[in-house]
Chain A
Amino acid sequence: MTPTRRTHRSHGLAAALVASSLLLSACSSGGTDDTTSEDTPAADGAVELVFDSWLPTMDPLQWPALYAAFQEENPDISITFNRDEDFDAFKTQLDNKILADEVPDIYGIQVGSSFDDYADYALDTSEYASGWIDQLSEQAVAQTTTTDGTVAAVPILNAGMEYFLYNQTLMDEMGLTLPTTRDEVFAIATQIRAAGLTPFAMGAADAWHDADFFVWLSNQYGSGGDIYKAAAGEIPWDSDTLVQAGQAWQELFTNGVFEDAATTVNTYPMARDDYFMARRAVFMPTGSWHVGAGLTISPETPGTAVENDALGMADCPPGGERDAGVTAGVDFALAISASSTPEKQEAAAKFVEFMAVGEGQQMWADTLQGFPVAKDVTVHLDEGESDLAQSSVDLVTETLLAAQYDRKLVSPGRDSLENDLGVVLQNIADGADPATELATLNQ
């Protein structure tokens, strides 16, 4: 029996090895998307820069066009653009580069709680932008200023919340008119549901979207602005006005304004592609950056069910006691590495200037990826665009300029606030008591 047992054992060992190798090979898949522009060989005396960011996109009208225009002005400066479409993945990559002392010469940066962390590695803008930074909106520049008063990055694009895309063609087919009050929102939701469609496709699985929506909504209660005080620890999260806003938020789910199971639907791609662009939803709450969906140059609609529909954007009807307008904030800023060589910093400054107050600002704003921060730049649409597209852009421009409240909460030392608030809001959406849930943020 001994030889048999030995053979049995060796087969068992072989099976285990096969198992391990299969497991390892099965687990080795995966990775991240990393879009890199073609390296441009540098001529003698030329400067090569590395630019890491999640924006601009690789759409022909964005990075390729921007870079071509920049190179036309600055043929001696070449830029290798490392784009990570996913913002969190981009931040992880940036963290790794910072830890490895390989801070990119130029990097994208977003305002909010983590701004100060990344600003530590940025060149003070007073060293390269003092000659032109006054051409930018003061409110935008204030948001790229650290808590110790250093303007560490140059704001490039603005964005605001809460808007919604609407399908005008679908509304006409159903005999609907655009809702302008909370009551009208509830009434139209009932009508749309009765027709077997989804009223508002909300990506409530995204903590960032929940938080942005709630910041906008909460400003409509009391005298407004309590949520920023709660974020700063000045008032409790279960203050009356915030609890009222929490109840209003919950009603949007329980009264069928948003789709069923909205907390399992993310904004991208589900709410956008599987609901709104699939013609299953009439409206989609989103940010100002989406106003371009209604333009002929939009890369989002071709091939979708709404390809031939007229799409517009409006600001969300107030859900609270008063209309507090949209929230706004710097959606994209650029920082220059403090550790780059002086010649690279000088070249990087030219690129940042191009993007902030130069041709790049106008070109990028015209794609409607965001709204301009330069005071004398306005969005230009092609003459072929529809009246609906033009009126949507005008409305977004006007409401953004009138915005009184910041889109993002700042809570020094608590970078997890946006996610924590998102979790609380998802629990409230799924039926939890608003006061109890909001109180958990007091810790």
Chain B
Amino acid sequence: MGVGANRFKPYLYIAPVLLLSGVLLYYCVGFTAYASLTDWNGLRRMNFIGLENYLHLVEDPTFWTALKNNLIFMVATVAIQAALGLLVAVICAERLPGSTFFKAVFFLPIAMAPAIIATVFKYMLEANYGSLNESLRAIGLLGAGEVIQWLGKDLGVWSVIIINVFQWMGFSMMVYFGGLMAIPRELHEAAVIDGAGWWRRLFSIILPSLRGTTSVLIVLGIVGSLKTFDIVWLTTGGGPGVSNHFLSTFLYQARSDREAGYSSAIGMVILVIAFLLSLAQIKVSERRR
């Protein structure tokens, strides 16, 4: 094979991926970007209106409610899932009796469809006859006829956070567990010989060694939180009112209302936010290294 042919060989290797992603991803992103500048109704009406959708978005209180909910959800779920996941992983790594069983139990929700989890929680959290409020009444923490609106305008986002943690904590645990298993045993042995206790090893060996894993989980958490849709929609539908809308449910609602151009603008904003947050996180972790 000549030198000229060799020069093009690497491009041939990546051509299939480029073609696939170009058609399936970048074309769609480009189309959405264009659609966001139109009054597209999801069918064939598609008049160019410039930045009108974006200006409307900035003035739309639902957008700010959804963005706030997304941020609360993102910070809370990333932090709680990482902390709980690490805790359970570290405990499981100690190989205590029953740790394998608990590892499987904590991992189980990941194997369940989000729709099933959302439906089960919706029934548990229902205000009048849900099992949680009924239990609280049974033990006297809630009076007869009193309700706590777990999926209402004040607590809805926090309930969604708890559901998400239930579903994904096992994922963080398994990733951390994989990271823990990768830490060389020699490091622990050397530390023990040097007289380091369990806590000292946790903060001086385990946590620094898991920095890369944490970084991956944070990026996945950020991206995952921005695309969270199923459990929010199936438990709250974004309501009451718009109180529990996330950016993704807001987008879906706009599309259902035949405002496809507007929902495209919401989609572009989500894309930009996800890109910027991931970029920032990667920069921060690079600086740490």
Contact = CB atoms under 8 A, between A and B. Distances in A.
Contacts of A207: 239
A416 B182 CA distance: 53
A430 B259 contact: no
A324 to B, nearest CB: 27
A439 interface: no
A11 B42 contact: no
Interface stretch (B21-29, B66-74, B124-132): B124-132
B151 interface: yes
A16 B216 contact: yes
A274 B127 CA distance: 12
A13 B48 CA distance: 45
A429 B240 contact: yes
B116 to A, nearest CB: 9
Contacts of B259: 415-416
Nearest to A425: B241
A114 B179 contact: no
B149 interface: yes
Nearest to B107: A22
Interface stretch (A44-52, A262-270, A357-365): A262-270
Contacts of A272: none
B240 A263 contact: yes
A8 B183 contact: yes
A427 B241 contact: yes
Interface in A15-41: 15-16, 18-20, 22-23, 26, 29-30
Interface string A254-293: 0000011101111000100011001010000000000000
A117 B149 contact: no
A29 B44 CA distance: 31
A263 B239 CA distance: 8
Interface in A220-267: 259-261, 263-266
Given A19-B171, A29-B114, A427 B43 contact: no
A400 B129 CA distance: 35
A99 B257 CA distance: 17
Contacts of B18: none
Chain A binding surface SS class: helix
Contacts of A14: 178, 182
B187 to A, nearest CB: 8
B110 A22 contact: yes
A198 B128 contact: yes
A281 B22 CA distance: 55
B239 A205 contact: yes
Nearest to A88: B256
Contacts of B113: 29-30
A12 interface: yes
A91 B258 CA distance: 10
B143 interface: no
Nearest to A428: B241
B222 interface: no
Interface centre among B183, B184, B239 (most CB of A within 10 A): B239
Contacts of B114: 29-30
A263 B152 contact: yes
Nearest to B153: A430
B184 A8 contact: yes
Contacts of B261: none
B182 A11 contact: yes
B80 interface: no
A416 B43 contact: no
A259 B216 contact: no
Interface in B37-96: 41-45
Interface residues of A, number: 55
A157 B242 CA distance: 33
Contact of B209 (A8, A91, A265, A275): A8
Contact of A99 (B43, B115, B179): B43
B258 A114 contact: yes
Given A423-B241, A426-B240, A427-B241, A261 B41 contact: no
B110 A26 contact: yes
A416 B41 contact: no
Contacts of A416: 254, 257-259
Contacts of B127: 260-261, 264-265
A12 B208 CA distance: 13
B264 interface: no
A183 interface: no
B145 interface: yes
A168 to B, nearest CB: 23
Interface in B222-267: 224, 230, 236-237, 239-242, 253-259
Contacts of A205: 237, 239-240
Given A11-B182, A15-B216, A261 B237 contact: no
Contacts of B129: 274-275, 278, 280
A104 to B, nearest CB: 14
B213 A264 contact: no
Interface string A174-185: 000000000000
Given A274-B126, A423-B241, A19 B220 contact: yes
B221 to A, nearest CB: 10
Contacts of B212: 9, 12, 16
A88 to B, nearest CB: 5
B255 to A, nearest CB: 8
Contacts of B181: 11
A18 B149 contact: no
Contacts of B153: 430
A441 B119 CA distance: 33
Given A95-B43, A117-B41, A264-B240, A12 B179 contact: yes
23 contacts: A4-B184, A4-B186, A11-B178, A11-B179, A12-B179, A15-B175, A15-B216, A18-B175, A19-B175, A22-B171, A23-B220, A29-B114, A88-B256, A98-B44, A99-B43, A99-B44, A205-B237, A261-B128, A261-B152, A263-B152, A266-B237, A274-B129, A430-B152
Given A26-B171, A193-B145, A207-B239, 12 more contacts: A7-B182, A11-B178, A99-B44, A205-B237, A205-B240, A261-B147, A264-B126, A264-B236, A274-B123, A415-B259, A416-B254, A416-B259
Which 5 A-B pairs have CB atoms at the shortest separation, nearest pair first? A11-B182, A416-B257, A261-B127, A263-B240, A415-B258
